[in-house]
Amino acid sequence: MFASTLVSFALLVWLAAAKVQFLGMGIAGGDFGCEIDGSCPTSSTQLPLSSFGMGGGDGPGQMTHFVEDDGMNIFRLPISWQFLVNNKLGGDLDVTNLAKYDKLVQACLATGANCMIDIHNFARWNGGIIGQGGPTDDQFVSLWTQLATKYAASERIVFELMNEPHHLDVQLWAATCQKVITAIRNAGAVTQMILLPGSNFDSAATLATEEGGAAALMALTNPDGSTDNLLLDIHKYLDVDNSGTHAECVTNNTEAFGQVAEFLRKAGRKGIVSETGAAPNGPDCMTRFCEQNAFINRNSDVFIGLVAWAAGSFDTSYILSLTPNRNGGKFVNNALGAQCVVGTWKETSEDVSSSSISTGSTPVSGTITSSATTTTSPVTTTTTGSSGTQASGSSSLTAPTTTHSGAWTMTVSLGREMAILLIGLVLAV
């Protein structure tokens, strides 16, 4: 009877946590003009600060809407390296440009959400790869040291080291990232989440392979030797070449995300899907994008967050636009955002509620540990592309291994519906 109670309790805890902790949106504009060779003309930057009379979209208004109306709690704020240093590679952060970007950061923090600083340069500066013939590691470290120093006191800042590295030596890239991690922590930002992106445009389809480099990234540590709050950064689109430039959705990516989930479970680590999107009017996109995001939520034991692409300064006519429309002075999501981003997240919560399981509140800052034997994470965001195509597939939902005080271990590998049935059978006994 005692064992049955423990099994029931473990399954209830797992089901209660069966949605990502962080849901959010990319608030684009600071990345406008960036190409995959790392060239980012500052004249193309359109920070979404129209509410400050600075042009672009109404990023602060959108973020307020997403928090108050949809419950989102994380936003990705892309910006180019060139803009931050006013085209002076290795130089100090430009006072004027940093002040503009900081207006967006502060507007994000004011909502109570987590705010992701995303350097949107594809691991490059004007064609040269960081630490591999282009900018030196020291120049990249200097950028992040200055940013970490500025935001060290803000626990809800998230450091996304780089948007979509590609065509580079992943071992050298991992070594570069280790220097940056150490610099960020030594600058006083000791608790914030740091996102570690792999090669091949950070694609979920290849992250867990040698080409993607996830294993090398997961070997990186904080200065104290821990891996707390070091997360795998994950991207994936649903079109034919994973570029996010085609309207048709050809996959629901469950096979790709299933592979990453299995890798993270075996490694005892966690990741966040910081960029994924689909065309609101694209063939099969409503079905497949919803299927993908539901799958990510069901695998919340290893995926702690999902950030959709994108709103901000994008017009509602942009192929992947999730920019909300204004209706009677209020923001209203388009159907894809309402159903596949917000809907799949809230439906998970409602499913849990209907099973008489209380999820409680979701904290938004603290420590994400790397232990493989815990059911919960004590937590106390242009142009993109990839060369690969991921076929549609399916994968079973696997719960993490749970260790109890009685020194016995249970591993669960089954779907939500079967888990609920099992609980009923156990309670009946």
The residue from 275, 291, 347, 350 that is catalytic is 275
Rounded Cα distance between 78 and 23, Å, is 17
Which of these, 219, 133, 137, lies nearest to 183 by C-alpha position?
Answer: 137
Cβ atoms 14, 299 nearer than 8 A: no
State whether the Cα torsion 64-69-72-73 is positive or negative: positive
Strands 157-160 and 194-197 turn out to be parallel
Three-state DSSP class for residue 59: helix
Residue 74 forms beta bridges with which residues? 24, 114
The residue from 164, 210, 262, 350 that is catalytic is 164
Rounded Cα distance between 316 and 195, Å, is 29
Which of these, 315, 384, 382, lies nearest to 44 by C-alpha position?
Answer: 382
Decide if 160 is catalytic: no
Rounded Cα distance between 112 and 407, Å, is 40
Q: Count of residues for the chain?
A: 429
Q: Return the half-sphere exposure (C-beta side, CA atoms, 13 A cut-off) of residue 375.
A: 19
Rounded Cα distance between 333 and 220, Å, is 39
Decide if 291 is catalytic: no
Rounded Cα distance between 215 and 209, Å, is 8
Cβ atoms 381, 274 nearer than 8 A: yes
Extract long-range pairs of 284-288: CB within 8 Å, 24+ residues apart.
Answer: 284/248, 284/249, 284/250, 285/238, 285/247, 285/248, 285/249, 285/336, 286/335, 286/336, 286/339, 286/340, 287/249, 287/252, 288/238, 288/249, 288/251, 288/252, 288/253, 288/392
Tokens of residue 180, six digits: 């940056």
DSSP per-residue letters across 410-426: E--B--HHHHHHHHHHH
List of E strands, 143-193 = 157-160
Q: Which residues are catalytic?
A: 164, 275
